[in-house]
Amino acid sequence: MILDRKTPPIFQEINNVNVIPAEELLLKNKLLLGYINAGTEKVLKIELIFDTGIIDSPSPAVAHATAYMLDKGTSKYSANELATKFDSLGAYIGAEVSYEKTILTVHALSRNVEEVIKLLLEVVTNVVFSEQELKTYVNNQRQKMKVNLERVSYVAKKRFPALIYGKDHPYAATTELEDYDELKLADIQAFYSTNFLTEQTRLQVAGDVNQGVLNLLMSSFGQLRLKAAIENEFLPSNLPEAKKLKIKKKNAVQCAIRIGKPLFNRSHPDYVKMQMVSTILGGYFGSRLMANIREDKGYTYGIGSAVVPFRNTGYFFLTTEVGVDVCEAALKEIYYEINRLQTEEVTDQELKLVKNYVLGSFLKSVDGPFAQMDKYQLVKDNRLNYTYFDDYIATVKSMTKEDVIHLSNSYLVIDSLSELVVG
């Protein structure tokens, strides 16, 4: 029998995705511990999540420096001693800050977990911020930023939030080179002492989490002294009118393009469907923008779009880098594709494809204990519950052709989009 290579094999649609809810323990000091015991390797990921980030800080430079310095020395150990201890245990420690939170993460081998937890507790209880560490940090960051400012894509990413939100908006805050000259250790200490280790702090652990690990975490982190949380009220400010901005960069061989506008957070009724619209436009390899601007015209190596949610707001953007000679042509095609979404119905075939693609990505995004833990974090960060994911799947499946036209006409009106070109 000759093999039929033209007809695709029969496939099954994804009907349900098993999101395993994390279990929770409330420690005696009110610290909430979320945990997932799963996975095949003898490893764990422990995260301490502080409910404070760039929007709560006096400046993004302070928020970033504080996060960087969280594991750079305690009253007992110098930065080097700490790093040597974690490294010797085969553990990785690091902190990251975003607009809304700061996360201190440790990756550890099960066989060393007891010592790692002890050390992590030392870091959290006895952190010391030193001038010497700040000096190293400032120097390295300044150099790094100077290099980054030579990149058109970096400049576009850095300047875009202020364009769509207005420069004084909390989600438009960004660090300038001069800010490093102003950075004071006292500001970092003050930010840390008021905003960290509040009752909103959470602990998460995923991987090889047996009862022994839980006991260790309860007895050690249960002793942390937590202060009452300060709720920062989010005051929506007036958003500026959409505008076009061109930032010149001499000798650039490509220009970076960013186009977009403020939208909404995950709780908005149109959030999931707008994500679908963005996926159709530029959210995957076969998207409209990729098909036209990369695969048909060859103007770019890549182009994409996304809806980014924050706790209180969100935004839509699309981004690409194209040859300077085809910048105008690329812009024309981008707006052509947005217009096409607003005026032509998507085919059943395309809509079905995007739905399946989105559900497949979702399935992949819950693969393994660390990915499952990210879902728990999403629920906690956004003050949602696990039914969010069932709703998500149902909403994806219920999306119609009319929805695409309606939403792209509601939220992607071309005159409402700001445009930034760097190059």
Partner 1 sequence: MIQYEKFSLENGLKVLVHTDKTTPIVAFNLLYDVGARDENEERTGFAHLFEHLMFGGSENIPNFDGPLQEVGGENNAFTSNDITNYYITLPKQNIETAFWLESDRMKSLAFTDKSLEVQRSVVIEEFKQRYLNQPYGDVWLLLRPLAYSRHPYKWATIGKEVKHIEEATMDDVKAFFYRHYRPNNAILSVAGDVTKVQIETLAKKWFGDIPAGEKLVRALPKEPEQLLERSLTVERDVPSDALYKAYHICSRTDENYYVVDLISDILSRGDSSRLYQRIIKEQGLCSNVNAYITGDMDEGLFVLTATANDGVSLEQIELALLNEIELIIEQGVTQEELQKVKNKMESAQAFGNTSVLNKAMGLAIAELIKDADLINQEKELYAQVTGEQLQTYAKRIFKPTNCSTLYYKSKK
Binders of partner 1 among residues 363 to 422 (CB under 8 A) are 363-364, 367-370
DSSP code of residue 100: S
Interface residue with partner 1 among 158, 297, 401, 406 (CB under 8 A) is 297
Instruction: Closer to partner 1 by CB, 42 or 184: give it.
Output: 42
**Which residue type does 17 have?**
V
- The least distance separating partner 1 from the CB of residue 127, rounded to whole angstroms, comes to 16
Stretch that binds partner 1, among 4-12, 22-30, 159-167, 267-275 (CB under 8 A): 4-12
Other beta carbons within 10 Å of 229: 13
Q: Is the dihedral of CA 281, 287, 292, 294 positive or negative?
A: positive
Contact 25, 37 (CB under 8 A): no
**Which residue type does 146 have?**
K
Stretch 312-341: interaction string toward partner 1, x if CB under 8 A: ---------xxx------------------
DSSP H or E stretch at residue 372: helix 369-381
155 token code pair:
């400049």
- The least distance separating partner 1 from the CB of residue 59, rounded to whole angstroms, comes to 21
Reported as half-sphere exposure (CB side, CA atoms, 13 A), residue 193 has a value of: 8
Binders of partner 1 among residues 50 to 89 (CB under 8 A) are 79-80, 83-84, 86-89
Residue 226's region, left for phi above 0, alpha for psi from -120 to 50, else beta, is: beta
Interface residue with partner 1 among 30, 76, 144, 246 (CB under 8 A) is 144
- C-alpha closest to that of 372 among 103, 143, 37, 100: 37
Burial (Cβ within 10 Å: 0-12, 13-18, ≥19) of residue 94: middle
Interface residue with partner 1 among 26, 58, 90, 267 (CB under 8 A) is 90
Instruction: Closer to partner 1 by CB, 149 or 414: give it.
Output: 149
Contact 400, 75 (CB under 8 A): no
Q: Using alpha carbons only, what angle is made at residue 27 by residues 23 and 30, rounded to the nearest 5 degrees?
A: 110
Stretch that binds partner 1, among 40-48, 53-61, 258-266, 372-380 (CB under 8 A): 40-48
- How many residues sit in the footprint of partner 1 (CB under 8 A)? 78
Interface residue with partner 1 among 30, 118, 229, 286 (CB under 8 A) is 286
C-alpha 107 chain-centroid distance:
19
**Which residue type does 55 have?**
I
| Contact status: 178 vs partner 1 (CB under 8 A) | no
Stretch that binds partner 1, among 59-67, 103-111, 219-227, 396-404 (CB under 8 A): 103-111
Interface residue with partner 1 among 28, 131, 147, 238 (CB under 8 A) is 147
Instruction: Closer to partner 1 by CB, 165 or 376: give it.
Output: 376
- The least distance separating partner 1 from the CB of residue 157, rounded to whole angstroms, comes to 14
> Which residues pair with residue 44 across a beta bridge?
108, 207
| Contact status: 142 vs partner 1 (CB under 8 A) | yes
Instruction: Closer to partner 1 by CB, 80 or 400: give it.
Output: 80
| Contact status: 195 vs partner 1 (CB under 8 A) | no
Interface residue with partner 1 among 26, 230, 239, 253 (CB under 8 A) is 253
300 token code pair:
């770019």
SS3 content of the chain, % helix, strand, coil (to 5): 45, 20, 35
